[in-house]
Amino acid sequence: MHTDTLNRRIRFAPPAPFVRRLIPTEPDYLLFEAIDRHGPLPTHYLYEFTKHLRKDYTHLQNRLTEFYNGDQYGPFLMRPPQQFAGFEARYQHIVYDLAPRARQLLGERGTLGSFSPRRTDPFLHQLMGACVAASIELGAPGKALRYIPREEILTRCAPETRQSKNPMALPLPGGHMLVPDDLFGIEYPATGFRFFAVEIDRNTESIERRNLDSNTFGRKIASYLTVLKGRLFHSHWGLPNLSVLTVTTNATHARNILEYVSRQNEPKYGERFTFAAEPSFSANWRVPKKVLSNLLDEPWITVSGTKDISRP
């Protein structure tokens, strides 16, 4: 085991098995499933998913370290190395992702998500999306809401969608595809359901350019307008409604995108676009210090004012 001069484990060190056999328990399966559902998650998020079955936070930290180091058969978890490039890498919560062994275990247990895509997008994009989705799921019960994950939505959609190469991909006219970063729903007490496509925007691309074929956020908005007008979310996913939640890294950029949406002169559909800012993932990024409860506690901005997604 790699230690520093004070005999403390080094968080940047590679795995070093120090137990002979690791046997996952029910709380361990819950954290594996949370990572599979959302993507790489920090330690304090994983604690929120399993704290009702844990002794305390330190117990979880020790357990995660064991699963990272693994046993004679290999590790269950990995620590994505990109997290250690951050300026505050030594002082923030460690982020964990699933190792192949954990995915195999979930598959044998029958709880591996059928629609959890194998991600190829940058680590920070994955982490931001995972923290956003997990924060909404964790906050829902406190507001008497039921979080409906992507897995449940796609399991219930039409067979031709479920069996397609990528059920998350919405087919557009002209053979193009629109693939949201995430998809979830909220069930409100006695009032029905609302469904949301999620876009994670770290302000790495322009809103619009002269070349309409360029990869811009404006092009993505145009695609969503096509989806909303044609109710393609209903024909492809079987959903009764759809709004688009965009989380970006600062309020100024969110307002700039919002202004672009308003210029499309589509008032009936423009209010379906809602925006929030989370500065933790800006250029000098760090792992959020707390669960992003503001995503349910505070209203999102729209072209017509604000909207509280925790209310129908």
Angle CA(109)–CA(111)–CA(141) in degrees, nearest 5? Answer: 135
Q: Which element (helix H / strand E) includes 97?
A: strand 95-98
Q: Say which residue, 6 or 285, is predicted with more confidence.
A: 285
Sign of the four-CA dihedral 47, 51, 55, 57: positive
Interacting residues of 171 by C-beta distance below 8 A, sequence separation 6+: 177, 232, 236
**pLDDT tens, 165-223?**
999 999 999 889 999 999 999 999 988 999 999 999 987 766 655 454 555 788 899 99
Contact 153, 240 (CB under 8 A): no
Higher-confidence position of 106 and 8: 106
In one-letter notation, the amino acid at residue 13 is: A
Indicate the pLDDT class of residue 72, thresholds 50, 70 and 90. confident
Q: What domains can you pick out in the chain, each with its CATH number?
A: 26-109 (1.10.10), 123-307 (no CATH)
Q: Which residue, chain included where needed, has tokens 């919002």?
A: 258
* 109-160 pLDDT, tens digit each: 999 999 876 778 899 999 999 999 999 999 999 999 999 999 999 999 999 9
SS3 content of the chain, % helix, strand, coil (to 5): 40, 15, 40
Q: What is the pTM of this model?
A: 0.91
Q: Note the pLDDT of residue 20.
A: 73
- Position 216 scores a pLDDT of 79
The percentage of the chain sitting over the pLDDT mark of 70, rounded to a whole number, equals 90
